[in-house]
Amino acid sequence: MEISDENFRVWAEKNEVFFDGVFRLAGPDAYAPIYSLISGLLHEGHKQVTFNLTGLEFLNSSGINLLAKLTIEARKMGDLLLVVKGTNQHPWQAKSLPNLKKLHPLLDLRLA
């Protein structure tokens, strides 16, 4: 499962979702396929799902909205541990990812 563009690429390997590149999609509609992809993975029955954002250089506000919604989705599934791997190399991640922790306190945010 993979969604990609000349600037970005999203794919899933088992229970880990990888984000790569620069995401400047226009809005929720444009992000809808990505939402479906990851939402489907969340409901596959894994005990843990990881969002690997270390390759995600930039995510616009609509993309952050996507992550927020997915976090709320995961929070609703009580027994699912959501791990978010980020990096401090990209400033937006340090700025935006803590919000996910606010939305889902049990979320395992790993900023390296």
Partner 1 sequence: MDGGLPKKPIGLASFRAKFILVVGGAVLFDLLVSGGLALWNVQRLSRDATLEVGQGLEAASQEYIRTYADSTAAQVNLLLKQVHNDVDTLAGVLQAQIDNPVRNSDVGAAIARTSPDSVSLSYDEKGKWSQNAPGSASVVSVWGYLLGQDHQPKPDIERDIQTSAVLDLVAPSLLQHGASKLQMYYIGPRERPIFRTAPYTDQAQTFDRLYPGHNEADFWNFFFPGLYESWQGWAKDAKTRPVADDITQTAPYTDAITGKLIVSFFHPLWTADRQDVAGTAGADITLDQLAETVENVKVAQSGFGFLAMSDGNVVAINSTGEKTLGLRAASGASGTGVTGLERSLKGSSQPAIAQLALDREQGIQHLLLQRDGDEVPYILTVKKLPATNLWSSGPVRQEAMLLGLVVPEREIDASLYAAQAKISEATNRIVIYQIIAILMSLLIVAIAVFAASKRITSGISALAGAAKRIQAQDYSVRVAITSKDEVGAAGEAFNRMAEQISYHTENLEQLVEERTAQIEDQKEEISALNAQLERENRRLGTELAVAERIQLMVLPLQQELEEFQDIEIAAYMRPAEEVGGDYYDVLKNGRRLKIGIGDVTGHGLESGVLMLMVQSVARALQEAGNTDAVKFLANLNSALFKNIVRTKIDKHLTLAFLDYDGKELILSGQHEEVVIIRSNGEIQRIDTMDLGIPIGLEADISAFIKTREIAFEKGDLILLHTDGVTEAENDAGELFGIERLCSEALRLKGQSADKVVSGIVATLMRFIGSQKIYDDITLLAVRHR
Site string for partner 1, 26-65 (x = CB under 8 A): xxx-----------------------------x-xxx-xx
User: Is residue 110 within the footprint of partner 1 (CB under 8 A)?
Assistant: no
Does 3 engage in binding with partner 1 (CB under 8 A)? no
Q: Is 102 in the site for partner 1 (CB under 8 A)?
A: yes
The two tokens of residue 96 are 């935006």
Q: Whose Cβ is closer to partner 1: residue 30's or residue 46's?
A: 30
Handedness of CA 66, 71, 76, 78 (dihedral sign): positive
Q: From residue 40, give the alpha-carbon distance in Å to each of 36, 37, 53, 59.
A: 6, 5, 18, 21
Give me the helices (H) in the chain, please. Answer: 28-42, 61-76, 91-103
Q: Which of residues 77-96 bind partner 1 (CB under 8 A)?
A: 95
Which residues contact partner 1 by CB under 8 A? 24, 26-28, 58, 60-62, 64-65, 68-69, 72, 95, 98-99, 102-103
